[in-house]
Amino acid sequence: MDEEAAMAELLTRSWWSFLVRGIIAIALGIILVAWPGATVKTFIIIFGLFVLIDGLVNVVRSLVLASRKERWGWTLTGGLLGFLIGAIILAHQEFALSFVVILVGIWAIIAGISELAIAFDMPPMSGRGMVGFLGVLSLIIGIVILVYPFGTVYTLMVVLAIYAFVAGAYLIFLAFYSMGAKHRLKKEAKAA
């Protein structure tokens, strides 16, 4: 297999995880916007489920990467930590909102670091700039949440809804970008 075909294969191996995570993020954003008067408990459940499912998707993605003998460590680490934080949020809904907000901020920072590490491991011309951008966005949101954890539930929901929409749209774009690159590179490889 020549280099271009190998790169096309690499680009599309995780397209499904980007798509699933993007759809889940946009669904979370819709729920947060459609339900602005949600109680603290409802917010905790919704966000706990999102973090748990996002972590699970990344764990599955890391297993797929490991089975293909590709770099999977950062994906697994981010997925396990996200799954753990989501489970803690769901198991301890009685915690004060400020504690849950701090866990959300920590999760966003871990997700950002994980995405940046994954981006640095990706080959050139493989969309690593897009993955890196998402990592930086997650880091910024996490830091903002940790610096200002005592905002109102409504303010936090609006900030997280905006983040969910942006990150979700970006992840879906990345999934389609990967699929388009696969087809383009395969066509170029056949023509050569």
What is the tens place of the pLDDT at every residue in 63-115?
A: 988 888 888 888 899 889 989 988 988 888 777 667 777 888 888 899 899 88
**pTM more than 0.75:** no
pLDDT, tens digit (0-9, with 9 covering 90-100), for 139-182: 998 898 888 776 656 677 777 788 889 889 988 988 888 888 77
**Could you tell me if residue 2 is inside a domain?**
no
153-191 helix and 128-147 helix, angle to the nearest 10 degrees: 170
Confidence at residue 150, expressed as pLDDT on a 0 to 100 scale: 66
**Could you tell me if residue 61 is inside a domain?**
yes
Number of domains in the chain: 1
Other CB atoms closer than 10 Å to residue 81's CB: what's the count? 19
73-91 helix and 97-121 helix, angle to the nearest 10 degrees: 170
Domain range for residue 49?
16-191
